Structure 1
Amino acid sequence: MCRNIKALFNFEPPATEEEIRQAALQFVRKVSGYNKPSQANEAAFNAAVAEIAAITSTLLDSLETHASPKNREEEAAKARARRA
């Protein structure tokens, strides 16, 4: 998985639209091989980001869990500790 795409499910507060869009953007960048597409490919690139963000929102809204929500700060601290 792309290192820049973070888990978005089961957090308190829930993932924002911007976080979902950033994850979709990272995914499309990875799949397409473009960091910034050419003008000829920009419309297709942006459409893919929008569609993936919408699908991701639907997915996150549909998922169920019995686990309690994770705390963003605690998860970030764990990630920093792993990197150290």
Structure 2
Amino acid sequence: MCRNIHQLHNFEPPATSDEIQAAALQYVRKIAGSTRPSRANQEAFDRAVAAVAAATADLLGELVTVAPPRDREVEAAKARARAEKRYAS
């Protein structure tokens, strides 16, 4: 489940609210142990996702680095190359 959580800090352009929300959802799914909560747990699940997304946005807004921002396309190409090497038959 958590393979979909990607590093969001120090990219150009910065992480979008959709990326932050997706990471928060994946995190809560992992902690809860399920991808879909029951109706009885839906409200708590949704509150947890919102809280994690808010904390993530706050963290990303406050982090400081001297490293130059990384390019999303270059990092995606590197990840594809690693995957091709890993899963090559």
Deviation at 1:62, TM superposition (A): 0.6
Once residues 43 and 70 of structure 1 are traced to their aligned partners in structure 2, the CA distance between those partners, rounded to angstroms, is 37
Deviation at 1:34, TM superposition (A): 1.4
Q: Higher helix fraction: Structure 1 or Structure 2? A: 2
Deviation at 1:79, TM superposition (A): 0.3
* Root-mean-square deviation over aligned CA pairs: 1.1
What residue number does 1:76 align with? 76
What residue number does 1:33 align with? 33
Q: Which runs of 5+ in 1 are unaligned?
A: none
Once residues 46 and 12 of structure 1 are traced to their aligned partners in structure 2, the CA distance between those partners, rounded to angstroms, is 29
The two structures have a TM-score, normalised by structure 2, of 0.92
Once residues 15 and 21 of structure 2 are traced to their aligned partners in structure 1, the CA distance between those partners, rounded to angstroms, is 10
1:1-80 mapped onto 2 (5 Å cutoff): 2-80=2-80
Equivalent pairs counted in the alignment come to 84
> Amino acid of the residue matched to residue 63 of structure 1?
L
Q: Which structure would you say has the larger Rg?
A: 2
The two structures have a TM-score, normalised by structure 1, of 0.97
Identity %: 60
In the TM superposition, structure 1's runs of 4+ consecutive aligned residues that sit over 4 Å from their partners are none
Note the alpha carbon deviations across 1:15-50, whole angstroms, 9 max, x for none.
Answer: 000000000000000010110101000000000000
Deviation at 1:4, TM superposition (A): 1.1
Q: Which runs of 5+ in 2 are unaligned?
A: 85-89
